[in-house]
Amino acid sequence: MTNQHVLAAPGVAPPRRGRWLALAALLLAEAMNLLDATVAQVASPAVRADLAASDGQLQWVTAGYTLPFAVLLITGGRIGDILGRRRAFVAGTAAFVLCSALCAAAPDIGTLLATRALQGASAALIIPQTFGLIRAMFDGAERAKALGMIGPVMALASVCGPVLGGVLTEADVLGLGWRAVFLLNVPLGLLVLLAAPLVADDRSPARPRLDVAGTVLVAAATGLMIFPLVQGNDVGWAAWTWLCLLAGAALFAAFGWHQRSKSRRGASPLVEPGLFRDRVFPASLVSVLLFFAVTNGLMFVLVLFLQLGGRTGALGAGLGMLPWSLGLAIGSWCAGRYLVPRFGAPVMRVAVCVLAAGLAGTAMLIDAPWPALMWPLLVSGTGLGMFTVPFFGTALSRVDHHETGSASGLLNAAQQFGATAGVAVLGAAFFHLGGSGGTRLALGISLGLLVFVLALTRPILRSR
């Protein structure tokens, strides 16, 4: 192996057992991040009722977490390269636990949104380290087995998240109500920290420097794009919202110039400009952004529709989204086990069509009793699961070895940025009309975005 690594506490457990306990901690940290996003979505109507949150503030309960996560994800990976991935992982987990407790104790909506942003920043320090730490601890067949466990764990978390959010909110454990969904991270995070000494240390031998200016530029650009999308309905789309969008676009252009300039000087840019030498990676980047804008934004909208429309409570909304999560697990398993090995990357195109069919069915049945939505939601989730299995490997197929880290981080950042933008745009569409009309509008926008995703798969697949 090229990276130097040692077990920090070899006496705690036999090496083999210690490695698998360490892997369990890394997977739990990954699952904790996904659980936090889904349980918070289910609990958001209860947050609104308790803290008198506006429509825009309700969107920020979700977007305020995913935005800093997306912006700082690549920088978090670089911090792991510089300081050591285990050290960054432990620091991020400790901060995440603390911020979760602060979210649970928030006395008002402003405090909750601030601590949610800090939570997202902490997650950006945790998630980029897990892949490198797994590579440091395992070789050969064991490494493949360890990496292969990520998908099932994520699928299980996606299935459990909505239901768990509904149970914790509606059960009103110790009178905590929605606050219990954030306290859930405290015992989970403490378990991760207890097992952290077993994790092998790992760091990049190159020790790249942080691109502080690049990070500031992309953070400012992203914030200027997302903030008016979330707040637009609340302020009647005032002139400043459009000025913010234009300023954000200008800063993204400045960020691109800055990255090319650093690359020409031989410095360490935040994003490798060589990734954009042909159409494949840019098409992949836009595809993942649009695809996860649809899936994450719609999950937010559907949870609100089920609760704010008076059809069901938090537990019913969690159970109502269970077919979506089950479909994701089924689609991922079928694609990984049968479809991709036999048919390869073109499975992506079929997956987009399956998702679109499920969303069209949801739109047609939106006024039916909510159990009728189970079947189109199951189909939608299946399409989501089928897409993710072949996509990331295909997107990275033409990336040079030295660009893999930057490309992976950028794809993950685009996924999170898409999730944030989806909550902002589709949430705004829902609140604009409200009820089934707003939900149909969000579904219609989503179907339009999926047409673009389907078109973008063409240059991606032609490259193979």
pLDDT category of residue 10 using cuts at 50, 70 and 90: very low
pLDDT category of residue 11 using cuts at 50, 70 and 90: very low
pLDDT single digits (tens) 29-73:
988 888 887 788 888 888 888 898 888 888 888 888 888 888 888
> Looking at 195-326, which runs of residues are DSSP E strands?
none
Which candidate, 265, 269, 245, places its Cα nearest to that of 255?
269
Query: Which residue type is seen at 76?
Result: G
> Looking at 399-451, which runs of residues are DSSP E strands?
none
pLDDT category of residue 318 using cuts at 50, 70 and 90: confident
Specify the length of the chain in residues. 464
- pLDDT at position 61 is 87
Domain range list for the chain: 9-200, 213-270, 275-464
User: Across the chain, which distance is largest between two alpha carbons, in Å?
Assistant: 64
Q: Mean pLDDT throughout 263-278?
A: 75
Q: Mean pLDDT throughout 362-390?
A: 88
Strand, helix or coil for residue 290: helix
Tokens at 321, concatenated:
């989204």
- Check: CB of residue 418 under 8 Å from CB of residue 229: no
Pairwise CA distance, residues 164 & 169, whole Å? 8
Whole-number average pLDDT of the chain: 82
Pairwise CA distance, residues 297 & 376, whole Å? 17
Pairwise CA distance, residues 87 & 80, whole Å? 7
Provide, rounded to the nearest whole percent, the portion of the chain with pLDDT above 90. Answer: 23
Pairwise CA distance, residues 243 & 224, whole Å? 9
Listing DSSP states for 117-178 in one string gives HHHHHHHHHHHHHHHHHHHHH--HHHHHHHHHTHHHHHHHHHHHHHHHHHHHHHHTGGG-TT
- pLDDT at position 148 is 64
Pairwise CA distance, residues 443 & 299, whole Å? 11
- pLDDT at position 403 is 63
Integer-rounded Cα Rg, in Å, for the chain is 21
Distances (CA, A) of 30 to 209, 270, 427, 428: 26, 23, 26, 29
pLDDT single digits (tens) 424-435:
889 888 988 888
- pLDDT at position 106 is 93
Tokens at 117, concatenated:
């942003």
Which candidate, 304, 269, 226, places its Cα nearest to that of 406?
269
Pairwise CA distance, residues 377 & 237, whole Å? 32
Q: Where are the alpha helices (DSSP H) in 84-108?
A: 85-104
pLDDT single digits (tens) 121-157:
999 889 888 877 887 787 777 776 776 677 667 767 7
Q: The pTM is what?
A: 0.77
CATH number for the domain formed by residue range(s) 275-464: 1.20.1250.20
Q: Mean pLDDT throughout 451-459?
A: 90
Tokens at 13, concatenated:
């457990």
- pLDDT at position 4 is 36
Which candidate, 87, 69, 98, 88, places its Cα nearest to that of 186?
98
3-state helix, strand, coil in the chain (%, to 5): 80, 0, 15
Which candidate, 83, 76, 72, 87, places its Cα nearest to that of 204?
83
pLDDT single digits (tens) 93-113:
999 999 999 999 999 999 999
Q: Mean pLDDT throughout 162-167?
A: 81
Q: What is the dihedral of CA 116, 411, 320, 56, to 10 degrees?
A: 40
pLDDT category of residue 404 using cuts at 50, 70 and 90: low
Query: Which residue type is seen at 104?
Result: A
**Is the confidence at residue 211, as pLDDT, over 70?**
yes
Q: Which of 1.20.1630.10, 1.20.120.420, 2.60.120.10, 1.20.1250.20 is the CATH number of 9-200? A: 1.20.1250.20
| Residues pairing with 246 in the sheet | none
Which candidate, 326, 297, 304, 331, places its Cα nearest to that of 418?
297
Indicate if 275-464 has the same CATH topology as 9-200: yes
Pairwise CA distance, residues 159 & 179, whole Å? 21
- pLDDT at position 5 is 37
Q: Mean pLDDT throughout 337-366?
A: 91
pLDDT category of residue 2 using cuts at 50, 70 and 90: very low
Pairwise CA distance, residues 386 & 347, whole Å? 7
